[in-house]
Chain A
Amino acid sequence: MSLRKDGRLSRREALKALSMAAAGSTLLGPLLIGCRQSVETPESREKLGFRIDPLGSKPKFLVVIAATGGASIVDSFLAVRESEGGANAIRLNTFPDSAVQSVAGSRLRAVRFMGSKLGSIPIPVSTDQLAFVQKYADDMLVATSIGTSVNHTVAQKRSITGNAAWKGRTLQECVALQWGQGMPLPNVNMAVGGYGERGTDVSLPAAMYAETVTSPALWPLGLDGARGILGAPSADIIALARKARADLDVQSVFGQTFANSEAMKRWLAQREGGAGLEAQDLITRLNVLPDLPPQVPLSQYGLGSSPDGARVRQVLPDFFNDPFQGQAALAFLLIKYRVSCAITIGPDFNVKLGGTAGLYNPPLAFDFSHNDHRSGQAFMWARIMSTVDKLISLLKSEPFDAATGESLWDRTMIYVATDFGRTRSRPDNAMQFGSGHDLNNGFLLMSPMVKGNTILGGVDPLTTLTYGFDAATGVAQPGKLTSNEPDIFSGVLTAMGADLSGSGLPDASAFRA
């Protein structure tokens, strides 16, 4: 291209210049945008709203099931038959062939167990995982895992942070940040030990950290400042008293002296937010308890049971005596009333007597495997599956969006987190033996949002150890025995469709439906 003698472009040259400019902008545009994105920090992107769904977007829900004590994946969906185990089968944790059942059209397996006692506890254990796997195989994904700790509390926490995969945030905090911004209590945690701990990213809004609940049946009583207190004044008087207090708190010497205190700022914001909880009548809506004087004299105190109370009690009849069922009942109501989008529940380490078997929870939950591995795992897996099944049935029965026909279950992810796996050795042919802690294991994810009927990775039947997989493609990688905690963490969020830009998390597309 050259200028004419008068210094002006010819028509052809002008068109050529314009087309080159257009092409240049097309090529350079993404490059420049990429440059801008590369200098943006996750914090700056959060402020721009990249990780926050626009208002009115549909929420999604995460239920973390804390399978406390070490739920072994080779005692459930990846169980190995003796006939597959070669010469070492008699001294590894393999099952009689008849105890490991296949499900048509699936690689997922189910274990049947019958024993006359649970370790040293004289109660028979008879469990069968087949019905559960048959019912939910299409919504189940099992991902093999290698952890980095066999300390209960440390491993529990790493199972929900991916070993600090994303600035130390927990999965629940990530989900709360993504979908819980408008919810009253986005993150409610009823689990124990490391499952109940906060993440280490202190930059999140205060409401994103978990609200700890230790008594699910009675906790809703604290969701109103005065209702249920006999003789407390009416709402208009309460409002006047609060107003006077607020006026003086700001004016007081104490208030002015500590005006810059983080604790004070947080407190005043939380106090303001309390009115929002009251306005939603959560003291009633989340209350599973029936009016049952003299133990539960609700009406005598001007209180009532949740409109869903009878239905929830019917599905989870032991909600008051079995803490795990009580947690599941509250989890359903928290989701139904859009109070929370991240809920953590799970059995604790304590023995809990009751129920038809005489025992809800053995001492140490899954860690009872130290005493008797096989019956302990069978009992506890049955406990997890039974409660998860009940929770899913409630979620399925509840419409989410009439226009699309979605139920709450269609929007929910259940992540069965656990501490670690168990050691695989046993005395030759022993059916009753104890096990220790082992980094090698796998996790169960359940949701219509996961790639269902899937096993990511696999198990080597000659060692009964699991091996890894490529989280992006899902291709199994026999022999891979390196830690993959960030893959699991990313997989949960990827399957849910969370915005992970700027997180630095690995590509875990293989988890997504």
Chain B
Amino acid sequence: MHRNQLLFVTVLALGIGPSCADKVTAPPDPELLEPPSGPVARSARGNLRFKGPERINQDFAAALELRPDAVCLELGQYSCTGLVHNVALGGVDPYGPGLYESSGVTASTTPLAVERVAWAACTQRVDTDLATPAASVIFREVPLTGKKLASPDGAEVRGVIGLLTQRVLLRNPYRNEVERYVRLAKDIESTGNAEPARAWMQAVCFAILTSTESVFY
């Protein structure tokens, strides 16, 4: 074998090797951002844009590693963002009713449509991660005691919050966010829910996906 070829194969082996043997580990305890101590400067223009159906679908799919065409299907068959709630989410429908451009503002039913897409996406991610821990994407290695989180304020839980925040909002979480979602876990446990760990995973995923920071740009 030529010397260069040998070098190439060695580099390739080194590159692939570790990933093939990669063991699913809990997300690391995130580096927390500190909330600003004083008032935050207000945007003078406040020119926020709602993401709309395509971006929401793509962003949710990318963040949770879901197939874009399977993020949300009403009654298991009608695309939420492409058909049923497309216009409610700010989309257009030129070939049907001749709706060539969006009104440019969110409608009364838009928040509910976003929530439906988020619940559909989050339940899929949680179900898949819990069913196949070895291939879990987000909710991995979270210690459970029966159906409960073993430690609602443990490093693994904080790690999941951090990972979700990074994937959805593309930044590390603030300290108060982690604290609030840990409190959410405790609140859910106190409801007597039969599967509080699963419910928390769904709820924290939902809260981050449907936050204003997630759906506007």
Contact = CB atoms under 8 A, between A and B. Distances in A.
A256 B96 CA distance: 40
A215 B99 CA distance: 12
Contacts of B184: 240-241, 244
Contacts of A266: 105-106
A198 interface: yes
Contacts of B188: 237, 240
B213 A255 contact: yes
Contact of B75 (A219, A228, A257, A271): A228
A21 B40 CA distance: 62
A298 B75 CA distance: 7
B98 A193 contact: yes
Contact of A267 (B97, B99, B111, B113): B111
Contacts of B97: 190-193, 196, 214, 348
Contacts of A193: 97-98
Contact of B202 (A190, A215, A232, A256): A232
B109 A277 contact: yes
B75 A301 contact: yes
A245 B119 contact: no
B210 interface: yes
Given A192-B97, A222-B85, A237-B203, A229 B112 contact: no
B39 interface: yes
Interface string B95-115: 111110001011111111101
A187 to B, nearest CB: 10
A226 interface: yes
Interface in A246-274: 247-249, 251-264, 266-268, 270-271, 273-274
A296 B75 contact: yes
Contacts of B111: 225, 267, 270-271, 274
B189 to A, nearest CB: 11
A277 B112 contact: yes
Contacts of B107: 211-212, 270
A39 interface: no
A460 to B, nearest CB: 35
B112 A241 contact: no
B69 interface: no
Contacts of B145: none
Most interface-central of A198, A222, A350 (chain B CB within 10 A): A222
A394 interface: no
A113 interface: no
Given A251-B35, A261-B48, A263-B48, A218 B74 contact: yes
Given A218-B78, A244-B203, A254-B212, A206 B109 contact: no
B49 to A, nearest CB: 7
A300 to B, nearest CB: 8
A236 B191 contact: yes
Given A215-B83, A237-B188, A225 B119 contact: yes
A295 B41 CA distance: 52
A90 interface: no
A221 interface: yes
B216 interface: yes
A270 B74 contact: no
B211 A232 contact: no
A425 to B, nearest CB: 29
Interface in A166-224: 184-185, 190-193, 196, 198, 206-207, 209, 211-215, 218-219, 221-224
A349 interface: yes
Most interface-central of B49, B87, B119, B211 (chain A CB within 10 A): B119
B105 A233 contact: no
A241 B107 CA distance: 22
B194 to A, nearest CB: 9
A237 B75 contact: no
B116 interface: yes
A30 interface: no
B203 A241 contact: yes
Contacts of A253: 35-36, 40, 174
B203 to A, nearest CB: 4
A231 to B, nearest CB: 4
Nearest to B181: A244
A297 interface: yes
A295 B176 CA distance: 46
Contact of A219 (B84, B93, B181): B84
B105 to A, nearest CB: 6
A273 B97 CA distance: 27
A87 interface: no
Interface string A344-356: 0000111000000
B182 to A, nearest CB: 10
Contacts of A209: 103, 105
Nearest to A252: B213
A254 B48 CA distance: 11
Contacts of A226: 115-116, 119
B213 A301 contact: no
A371 B155 CA distance: 72
A221 to B, nearest CB: 5
B180 interface: yes
A261 B98 contact: no
A278 interface: yes
A256 B39 contact: yes
A221 B74 contact: yes
B84 A222 contact: yes
B177 A270 contact: no
A256 B40 contact: yes
A241 B212 contact: no
Contacts of B191: 236-237, 240
Interface of B: 35-36, 39-43, 46-50, 72, 74-78, 83-88, 93, 95-99, 103, 105-113, 115-116, 119-120, 123, 127, 174, 176-177, 180-181, 183-184, 187-188, 191, 193, 199, 202-204, 206-207, 210-213, 215-216
17 contacts: A212-B103, A222-B112, A228-B75, A231-B127, A240-B187, A244-B180, A248-B177, A253-B174, A256-B40, A256-B42, A260-B43, A260-B46, A263-B50, A274-B109, A301-B76, A350-B95, A350-B96
Given A211-B108, A234-B193, A258-B43, 7 more contacts: A226-B119, A231-B202, A240-B187, A264-B48, A268-B212, A270-B106, A270-B110
